[in-house]
């Protein structure tokens, strides 16, 4: 059996379907660039027929991202398939992923179709997709609650029509490792033509089993895993890419397969998705949680000092966490800074380097040590700023706050080249500065989420803030960074206003 497992990333499609994770086109491209650097095999870039925004994002990723196969999702319907074909046109390597529900409950209540009608629609969809592209994936939605004999018939039919990958979704996160493994074994054994296609796992995490279920299929001959960074996705999320990749790597003795993923880019990818979506990662989350490599108890620390392997099954470096993280200081030159940024996987434009270098000097003045993570955060914030027209820019602010007074903020903004000032009181320092910004700009969109996270440890750590604003149908996420959390929040708020 082939010993290679394809990593199919669906952060931009299934991941984006989770509440509050909608991303702008620029943000999707930024994530896709990182996925390409990580060497994922397939990027599911979106669902082109679902909206013009989705269509444009898939088209742009198809044009700009090289390396991975770019995939677009389509129901088993002509308009969906045509939209996927059109959006994927510029891609060098493209895949159409078409799906239709196959479980009794979905066929009856959602589709109102009989099994034979579903089978016919699936056949036609795969046939049409094959007229458009050579690489076609088919998914029987809710496969794990479908009748196995019907699944066998359906999968056989779409293979006959030319499907090249068969994905078996556990749409509602219901299956167990043993059952899912048995289903893969059954299909691989009983379906005519099974040896010509790749079988793929697609799991949701409703019972916390998504990663375990996905890994189980590898033992049953599955050779593609669909996953998202940080496991984001509908409800309890999807299979977490970082967990699957590190499990396959760390327990190669058990799974006997490889992936192409550059695991040292995992931490950056996790961070990127966190800051773009504003969805925080729980501290004890495997691989990318803040505590994933922290040894707190005396016994553990003592063991690790004597020999890291006593309590460490993988190194922090293998996921891109540097143990020796101090990289640059106040006297580091622009060339060294640029070199560092490039080695961290960014592809900086000259003006981004200039602006980020100036920010780096400001931070190096305030902070004793500047770590890789600080540089990544400030560079990310710079990219975020450069993606939008900076109609509003923070010049300075002052605050008055204390235990027995109502916090107030004075703020100075540059608005289209003109300097404007405002002042406001609020329930807390953040509330008062947001109100002051609102007073100057005349804007008061709904603030639906505010996340502040330290980039490294220590009281002088840089903070990254992520602000989600909504106005009507529009929803944007702004980012800001500073060693001062109030300034980070103000910058994130202004970045979000610029995006609105």
Chain contacts with Zn ion (rule: CB under 5 A): 14
Query: Rounded to an integer, what distance in angstroms lies between the CA atom of residue 225 and that of residue 218?
Result: 9
Beta bridge partners of 449: 468
Give which of 116, 138, 226 is closest to 187, Cα–Cα.
138
CB of 34 to ligand KIV, least distance (A): 22
Q: Is 445 helix (H, G, I), strand (E, B) or coil?
A: coil
97 or 359: CB nearest ligand KIV: 97
CB of 443 to Zn ion, least distance (A): 36
Query: Rounded to an integer, what distance in angstroms lies between the CA atom of residue 394 and that of residue 275?
Result: 20
67 or 231: CB nearest Zn ion: 231
77 or 290: CB nearest ligand KIV: 77
CB of 68 to ligand KIV, least distance (A): 18
Q: To which H or E segment does residue 457 belong?
A: none
Contact 368, 460 (CB under 8 A): yes
60 or 97: CB nearest Zn ion: 97
Give which of 392, 372, 375 is closest to 442, Cα–Cα.
392
**Binding interface with ligand KIV (CB under 6 A):** 14, 99, 139, 141, 167, 169, 171, 202, 204
What Å distances lie between residue 32 and 59, 224, 229, CA to CA? 12, 19, 11
CB of 58 to ligand KIV, least distance (A): 15
204 or 359: CB nearest ligand KIV: 204
Query: Rounded to an integer, what distance in angstroms lies between the CA atom of residue 396 and that of residue 409?
Result: 11
Contacted by 379, from ligand KIV, Zn ion, none: CB < 5 to 8 Å by type = none
Q: Is 290 helix (H, G, I), strand (E, B) or coil?
A: coil
CB of 160 to ligand KIV, least distance (A): 21
Contacted by 99, from Zn ion, ligand KIV, none: CB < 5 to 8 Å by type = ligand KIV
Contacted by 135, from ligand KIV, Zn ion, none: CB < 5 to 8 Å by type = none
Contacted by 139, from ligand KIV, Zn ion, none: CB < 5 to 8 Å by type = ligand KIV
67 or 169: CB nearest ligand KIV: 169
Give which of 124, 137, 160 is closest to 88, Cα–Cα.
137
Q: To which H or E segment does residue 277 belong?
A: helix 266-277
Query: Rounded to an integer, what distance in angstroms lies between the CA atom of residue 354 and that of residue 334?
Result: 8
Phi, psi torsion values for 479, nearest 5 degrees = -130, 150
Query: Rounded to an integer, what distance in angstroms lies between the CA atom of residue 487 and that of residue 310?
Result: 42
Beta bridge partners of 224: 6, 200
62 or 238: CB nearest Zn ion: 238
What residue ranges in 63-133 does DSSP mark as E strands? 69-75, 94-101
139 or 263: CB nearest Zn ion: 139
Q: Is 14 annotated as a binding residue?
A: yes
Contact 238, 228 (CB under 8 A): yes
Contacted by 435, from Zn ion, ligand KIV, none: CB < 5 to 8 Å by type = none
Contacted by 239, from ligand KIV, Zn ion, none: CB < 5 to 8 Å by type = none
Contacted by 468, from ligand KIV, Zn ion, none: CB < 5 to 8 Å by type = none
Contact 241, 224 (CB under 8 A): no
Residue nearest to Zn ion as judged by C-beta position = 14
205 or 432: CB nearest ligand KIV: 205
Q: Is 331 annotated as a binding residue?
A: no
Give which of 57, 153, 144 is closest to 104, Cα–Cα.
144
CB of 202 to ligand KIV, least distance (A): 5
Contacted by 141, from Zn ion, ligand KIV, none: CB < 5 to 8 Å by type = ligand KIV
Query: Rounded to an integer, what distance in angstroms lies between the CA atom of residue 127 and that of residue 117?
Result: 15
Q: Is 204 annotated as a binding residue?
A: yes
CB of 241 to Zn ion, least distance (A): 14
CB of 52 to ligand KIV, least distance (A): 20
CB of 124 to Zn ion, least distance (A): 23
Query: Rounded to an integer, what distance in angstroms lies between the CA atom of residue 393 and that of residue 497?
Result: 10
Residues 6 or more apart whose Cβ sits within 8 Å of residue 31? 11, 12, 23, 229, 269, 272, 273, 276
Annotated binding-site positions: 14, 202, 204, 238
Give the residue ranges of the annotated binding site for Mn(2+).
14, 202, 204, 238
């Amino acid at each position: 059996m082939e010993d290679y497992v394809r990593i199919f990333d669906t952060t931009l499609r299934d991941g984006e379907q989770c509440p509050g994770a909608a991303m702008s086109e620029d943000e999707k491209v930024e994530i896709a660039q990182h996925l390409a650097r990580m060497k994922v095999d397939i990027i599911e870039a979106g669902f082109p027929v679902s909206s013009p925004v989705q269509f444009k994002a898939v088209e742009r990723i198809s044009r700009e991202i090289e390396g991975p196969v770019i995939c677009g999702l389509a129901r088993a319907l002509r308009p969906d398939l045509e939209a996927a074909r059109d959006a994927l046109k510029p891609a060098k390597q493209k895949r159409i992923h078409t799906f239709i529900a196959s479980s009794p409950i979905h066929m009856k209540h959602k589709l109102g179709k009989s099994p034979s009608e579903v089978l016919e629609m699936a056949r036609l969809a795969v046939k049409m997709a094959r007229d458009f592209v050579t690489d076609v994936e088919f998914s029987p939605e809710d496969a794990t609650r479908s009748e196995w004999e019907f699944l066998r018939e359906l999968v056989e039919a779409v293979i006959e029509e030319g499907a090249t990958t068969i994905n078996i979704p556990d749409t509602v996160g219901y299956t167990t490792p043993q059952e899912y493994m048995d289903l893969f074994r059954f299909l691989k054994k009983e379906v005519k033509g099974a040896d010509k296609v790749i079988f793929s796992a697609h799991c949701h995490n409703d019972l916390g089993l998504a990663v375990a279920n996905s890994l189980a299929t590898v033992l049953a001959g599955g050779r593609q895993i669909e996953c998202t960074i940080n496991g984001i996705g509908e409800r309890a999320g999807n299979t977490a890419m970082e967990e699957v990749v590190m499990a396959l790597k760390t327990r190669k003795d058990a799974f006997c397969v490889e992936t192409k993923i550059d695991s040292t880019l995992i931490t950056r990818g996790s961070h990127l998705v966190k800051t773009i979506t504003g969805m925080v990662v729980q501290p004890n989350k495997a691989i990318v949680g803040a505590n994933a490599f922290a040894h707190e108890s005396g016994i553990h620390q003592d063991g690790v000092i004597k020999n890291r392997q006593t309590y460490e099954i993988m190194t922090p470096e293998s996921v891109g966490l540097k143990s020796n993280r101090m990289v640059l200081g106040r006297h580091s030159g622009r060339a060294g800074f640029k070199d560092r940024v490039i080695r961290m996987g960014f592809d900086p434009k000259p003006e981004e380097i200039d602006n980020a270098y100036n920010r780096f000097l400001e931070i190096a003045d305030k902070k004793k040590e500047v770590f890789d993570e600080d540089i990544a955060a400030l560079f990310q914030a710079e990219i975020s700023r450069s993606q939008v027209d900076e109609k509003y820019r923070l010049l300075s602010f002052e605050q008055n706050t204390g235990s027995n007074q109502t916090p107030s903020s004075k703020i100075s903004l540059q608005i289209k080249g003109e300097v404007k000032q405002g002042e406001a009181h609020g329930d807390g320092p953040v509330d008062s500065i947001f109100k002051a910004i609102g007073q100057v700009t005349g804007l008061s969109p709904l603030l639906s989420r505010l996340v502040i996270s330290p980039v490294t440890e220590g009281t002088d750590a840089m903070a990254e803030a992520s602000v989600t604003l909504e106005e009507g149908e529009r929803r944007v996420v702004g980012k800001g960074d500073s060693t001062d959390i109030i300034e980070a929040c103000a910058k994130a708020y202004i970045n979000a206003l610029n995006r609105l």
